[in-house]
Amino acid sequence: MTQRSSLFTIGQPPGRRSYWLIGLGVFVLLGLAWYLSTASGLVPRLFLPAPADVLARMLSLAADGTLWADLKVSLYRIGVAFLISSAMSIVIGTLAGCYGFWKAASEPLVDFIRYMPVVAFVPLTILWAGTSDVQKFLIIWIGTFFQQVLMIMDAVKRVPPDFIGLGRTLGMRDPAILLRIVLPSALPGIWDALRISLGWAWTWLVLAELVAATSGLGYRITVSQRFFQTDTIIGYILLLGLLGLVTDQLMRAAERVLFRYNRRRR
Amino acid sequence: MATLEIRGLNKSFPHGREQRQVLRDIELTLHDNEFVSLVGTSGCGKSTLLSIAAGLEGFDSGQVLVDGEPIRGAGLDRGVVFQSYTLLPWLNARENIEFALKAAGRTRGECRRIADEHLQLVGLNDYAEAYPNELSGGMKQRVAIARALSYRPKILLMDEPFGALDAMTRHQMQELLTRIWEHHRLTVMFVTHDIEEAVYLSDRIVVMGRGPGHIKASFPVELGRPRHEEMATSTAFIALQRQVLKAIREDERQP
Ligand SMILES: Nc1ncnc2c1ncn2[C@@H]1O[C@H](COP(=O)(O)OP(=O)(O)OP(=O)(O)O)[C@@H](O)[C@H]1O
Ligand SMILES: [Mg+2]
């Protein structure tokens, strides 16, 4: 059999090395395009500052502490809101995935609210909670909780019925089956749901901070707009992307440790 | 003592707006230490009957008795081996067996000892720490059988436990199961599609028919014990295999 170039064959995953090389290559290429378009004067600096300017601005913001203060506030907001939303959705999603009552009680409601645009809640939350942290929590919660409930409910429903049958034949009561069979079995799916929804939570955080805040990463972006500081704006957007990527990778790393049993050792 | 009696059992499932009967007037008794195989065309209700006996599925009318007592749901007196291996993926082989023993109320020390004994029984002592994902299909089913035996249920119910295995592994598993059964002497209800397997393992073969599911014939297997592979080529073995096949085929000819 002849060896075909696997990179251009349908269904062939790229090798580890070529994956990273190509992936990085695209970044380098885009960075280069950015550099060239600004260095050549093709795009005015006001609209698109040079990479070096952005870097310099970010370094000076880091040096005077602004960056860290913004970061701390934003991390606190997303941390609290995400934990509350996740804790609630795990409880409600698991119950809804297991018991008919909870499914009937929550699924139609969640499905309904899920289709309401989160952005439309912003004015309301400002009226309720002003520009306080609670308003950020509310927006992040509205944006993630309802999605999480549905995804977690799905993960719980995917637990094989025979696992539950096994618990029954071992004489286990329903609460024991829920805690010792259903939850551990659904955990990889639940973790995945949390990882995906954390990505959305970042978006809702920045949205809340853009509209009504006196601190945070999103706030800094709005303020910079007033002073035409495009370098800060771009620097912060890139930073947000980086933060999303890092938290995602952290969750994936935790997944590999938590669910080691899914990998083959031999 | 462990007998399983099914008397005048009827079962229907909702089908659209109406009820569709899947089991009609089932009368079946498994005597103490008897190995009974259940065969029949696909969809005749074998799995349903086994689930009812396990207490995992309800029924419309009739009785299911274990040692003369009506069953109340599933319980530790009836072990079940499912076709899908149902090993819990987050527990290793030993822990999977210990899980059942703990549910059965054994102490920690006992759990460990009994689990190791049973891994030995199915020849997997070297794989005690392997996770299900690292085991082959046959190995997984061996752990599942070890688990079902470990807490000493009086009755063992198996629904095509070897259905997903390749022919070679299947043969090994049949050997293993007869060996274990001849040792432990349990009352067994064994659902299978494989008539040779049914003849090789059983004391009696019960043929079910369709429309709605009912018991059509029952064949005692008059082969000596212990069973061994050469028996499969004996005339008695092959003749019985033909008879059972014929009884199943009659069903297929009807529309
Ligand atoms: N949960 C259910 N709801 C509705 N109908 C069902 C359900 N389970 C089984 N049935 C129906 O009951 C009949 C018997 O099914 P069962 O699975 O017991 O057959 P079987 O003999 O085990 O078949 P196979 O040999 O293919 O495993 C089938 O017609 C099936 O469609
Ligand atoms: Mg079946």
Q: How far away is chain A from the Cα of B86, in angstroms, using its nearest Cα?
A: 6
- Looking at residue B254, its pLDDT comes to 57
The residue whose CA is least distant from atom 28 of ligand 1 is B43
Q: How confident is the model at residue A4 (pLDDT cuts 50, 70, 90)?
A: low
Handedness of CA A152, A84, A241, A218 (dihedral sign): positive
How many other CB atoms sit within 10 Å of the CB of residue B199?
25
Query: Between chains, do B134 and A265 touch, taking CB under 8 Å as contact?
Result: yes
Alpha helices by DSSP H, chain B: 46-54, 93-103, 108-121, 137-150, 167-184, 195-201, 235-253
Boundary-marking domain end, from B117, B152, B187: B152
pLDDT digits (tens, 9 = 90+) for A47-84: 899 999 999 999 999 999 999 999 999 999 999 999 99
> CB neighbours of A164 closer than 8 A, spacing ≥ 6?
A177, A181, A182
Closest chain A residue to B134, measured at CA: A264
- Do B161 and B212 share a domain, yes or no? yes
Residues B245 and B161 in one domain: yes
Tell which B residues from 87 to 106 touch A, by Cβ distance under 8 Å: 88-92, 99-100, 103-104
Residue A265 has a pLDDT of 57
Chain A residues lying within 8 Å of B73, measured CB to CB: 168
Residue A10 lies in a domain: no
Tens digit of each residue's pLDDT (9 = 90 or more) over A171-200: 999 999 999 999 999 999 999 999 999 999
Continuous segment of H or E residues that includes residue A26:
helix A16-39
In a domain, B24, yes or no: no
Binned at pLDDT 50, 70 and 90, residue A264 comes out as low
Same domain, B214 and B239: yes
Tell whether A30 is covered by a domain: no
8-state DSSP, B226: S
User: What pLDDT score does B201 carry?
Assistant: 94
Q: A interface toward B at CB cutoff 8 Å? A: 160, 162-163, 165-172, 176, 180-181, 184-185, 187, 259, 261-266
Residue numbers of the domain that contains A194: 64-261
Nearest CB among B75, B90, B92 relative to A171 is that of B75
User: Could you tell me if residue B2 is inside a domain?
Assistant: no
Q: Is residue A26 part of a domain?
A: no
Both B47 and B119 in one domain: the answer is: no
Domain residues for the domain of B221 are 30-58+69-77+154-255
Please tell me whether residues B124 and B223 are part of one structural domain. no
Considering the domain architecture, whether residues B208 and B218 belong to the same structural domain is answered as yes
Q: How many structural domains comprise chain B?
A: 2
CATH code at B163? 3.40.50.300
Higher-pLDDT residue of A100 and A266 is A100
Gap from CA of B45 to ligand 1 centroid (Å) = 5
The tens place of each residue's pLDDT in chain B, 255 residues long, gives 789 999 999 999 999 899 999 999 999 999 999 999 999 999 999 999 999 999 999 999 999 999 999 999 999 999 999 988 899 999 999 999 999 999 999 999 999 999 999 999 888 999 999 999 999 999 999 999 999 999 999 999 999 999 888 888 888 889 989 988 888 889 999 999 999 999 999 999 999 998 899 999 999 999 888 888 888 899 999 999 999 999 998 866 555
Domain assignment present for residue B183? The answer is yes
Q: Decide: B13 in ligand 1 pocket, CB within 6 A.
A: yes
| Range A230-239, long-range pairs (CB < 8 A, 24+ positions) | A230/A46, A230/A47, A230/A48, A230/A49, A231/A49, A231/A53, A231/A54, A231/A56, A231/A57, A232/A57, A232/A58, A232/A61, A234/A48, A234/A49, A234/A54, A235/A54, A235/A55, A235/A57, A235/A58, A235/A61, A236/A70, A238/A54, A239/A58
Does any domain span residue A37? no
Give yes or no: residues B48 and B73 share one domain. yes
Q: Which of B102, B122, B152 is the last residue of a domain?
A: B152
Q: Are A36 and A183 in contact (CB under 8 A)?
A: no
The answer, yes or no, to whether residue A266 has pLDDT greater than 60, is: no
Q: What is the pLDDT of residues A120-134, one digit of tens each?
A: 999 999 999 998 999
Q: Is residue B159 part of a domain?
A: yes
Kindly state whether residues B161 and B234 are assigned to the same domain: yes
**Domains in chain A: how many in total?**
1
Q: Is B245 found in the same domain as B222?
A: yes
Q: Supply the pLDDT for residue A10.
A: 87
Q: Is B209 in the pocket of ligand 1 (CB under 6 A)?
A: no
pLDDT of residue A69: 95
Looking at the CA of residue B50, tell me the nearest atom of ligand 1: 18
Q: Determine which helix (DSSP H) or strand (DSSP E) holds A124, and give its type and residue range.
A: helix A122-129
B42 and B135 in a single domain? The answer is no
Q: pTM, whole model, 2 decimals?
A: 0.88
The more confidently predicted of residues A135 and B165 is: A135
Contact B79 A172 (CB under 8 A): no
Alpha carbons within 13 A on the beta-carbon side of B204: 16
Q: What is the CATH number of the domain that holds A141?
A: 1.10.3720.10
Q: Which atom of ligand 1 is nearest to the CA of B51?
A: 18
**Residue ending a domain, choose from B152, B179, B200:** B152
Has residue B8 been placed in a domain? no
Residues of chain B neighbouring A167 (CB-CB closer than 8 A): 103
- B144 shares a domain with B172: no
The answer as to whether B16 is a domain residue is no
pLDDT at A261: 86
Q: Are residues B178 and B117 in the same domain?
A: no
A71 belongs to a structural domain: yes
Distance (Å, whole) CA A133 – CA A79: 12
Indicate whether A75 belongs to any domain. yes
Asked whether residue A9 carries a pLDDT value surpassing 50, the answer given is yes
* Structural domain contains residue A12: no
Residue B251: predicted pLDDT: 60
Quote the tokens at residue A200. Answer: 């959305």
